[in-house]
Amino acid sequence: MSRPIQIKKHPFPSLLYLEWTLLAIAALTAVIPPPLRPFGHKPPELSICSVFPDLSVCSILPQLSIYSLIIFALMGLRLPRSNQITKVIYTAIEILLILTTGLFGERFARLFPVLYIILVTRSCLIFQLPGRLFITTLSFTLFLVTTQLKYQLFNFQASPQAQAQVQERSRFFSLNWSLTFGLSLVFVLLMMNAVLSERHSREKLAIANEKLRQYAMRIENQATLEERNRIAREIHDSLGHSLTALNLQLETALKLWQSNPIRAETFLATAKELGSKALKDVRQSVSTMRSNPLQEQSLELAIASLSENFHRFNGILPIYQINLEYSLPPEINTAIYRITQESLTNISKYAYATEIKLELTTIRENLRLIIQDNGRGFDLRQNTTGFGLHSMRDRTLAIGGEFNINSAPGSGCKITVDIPLTRLT
């Protein structure tokens, strides 16, 4: 349930101040006596009590009209916004107070046109468009009825000669005054609708901006997380590969140090070379990671270099077959290079293989990479949580490909990567 509109939370404080200003000006106009007509005749104040002064209630009706005006003014400090019944009761009380002021207020009866304008203004704040139109129409109708009643009271009070003189002018004056007042109500209604519509648009825009800000924050967090994962993959794929080879060289050097120091020194020199390469990879990873690890060389030459390094460090020469009908985008080249590098690193660390086959071909706008070894294999249900496998799968999915791995204990391992090239065109 929405809270009522209060003075401290009024959507348009300037509108509330304008309402008070209109009431103050109208009240001041009612208090100041009208100018005398020629020959010192004072125009009569039209009200029921001025026509029927002998009524017993006429002694309290002027005070009642003053209290009605005060209550009407104070009601503007708290406008209902909860249920429809409360709004209707609130508006009905306002109309009753306006009629009391207009029919029994003598001088204060001059205020009732201004009160109707304020009524329409308040209705725009508490009702939707159908309710606003109904209140505006009702206000204009009550204004016409009240005006007609006043003229009838004047005709009842005036002499026959005065009636004849006023009758002709009253029609023209009543028509003009009613038309002016009706246009005023329509203007107020249109102005309030425009102001409320503009405010509603700004509120919707503020909500949309807040949602956009939250969405941007989520995107930023997601981008940060993806960048961290990317850097982690780069460090694992590049630095991990070098450190794995370095560890193998040091282990071999330690085994040969006693029996064959000269050959051990060869492995130590290779280890030193790998250490320098690892240090270079770290520096490149810290400086936002190199965007193209192939370093301007073709994918064929990069895979050939990986195969030679693997043979150099492990004594096994991979058998590779590359058949590319056309050049590939840089992001695909990088992904294939990193997947191949990680596969060879895993084979070097865990497979204990003696034969490795690598095939890279393009078939019907589809790129396929197959890396197969005859190593000891592993159980897919127990060994699929490693960072290396996740890295290869993430790289494949990032470019819209499919990643499959087949392995079993004692049966080697086969990795298949299928990338549809049409998704990237």
CA distance 342 to 247: 16
If one compares 49 and 183, the residue with the highest pLDDT of the two is 183
Distance between CA 375 and CA 352 in Å, rounded? 5
Structure tokens at 295: 């370093």
pLDDT at 46: 46
Q: Which of 7-16, 337-346, 360-369, 385-394 has the lowest mean pLDDT?
A: 7-16
Class of domain 297-425: alpha beta
Cα Rg of the chain (Å, integer): 46
pLDDT tens digits for range 187-231: 888 988 888 888 888 888 888 888 888 877 776 677 677 667 767
DSSP 412: -
What percentage of the chain reaches a pLDDT higher than 90? 12
Domain boundary assignment for the chain? 5-157, 297-425
d(C-alpha 316, C-alpha 293), whole Å = 24
Q: What is the pLDDT of residues 356-402, one digit of tens each?
A: 999 999 887 899 999 999 999 888 877 655 667 888 888 888 888 99
* Mean pLDDT rounded to a whole number for the chain: 77
**54 contact partners, CB below 8 Å, separation of at least 6:** none
Instruction: Classify residue 250 as exposed, middle or buried by CB count within 10 Å of its CB (0-12, 13-18, 19+).
Output: middle
For residue 411, the SS3 value is coil
Q: What is the mean pLDDT of residues 117-127?
A: 86
Mean pLDDT of 52-71: 63
Model confidence band, residue 4 (pLDDT cutoffs 50, 70, 90): low
Q: Please check the confidence at residue 70 and state whether its pLDDT lies above 50.
A: yes
Distance of alpha carbon 329 from alpha carbon 402, whole angstroms? 17
Residue at token pair 């246009």:
183
Residues 55 and 112: beta-carbon distance below 8 Å? no
User: What pLDDT was estimated at residue 117?
Assistant: 85
What's the pTM? 0.45
DSSP assignments along 285-323, one per residue: HHTT--S-TTTT--HHHHHHHHHHHHHHHHS---EEEEE
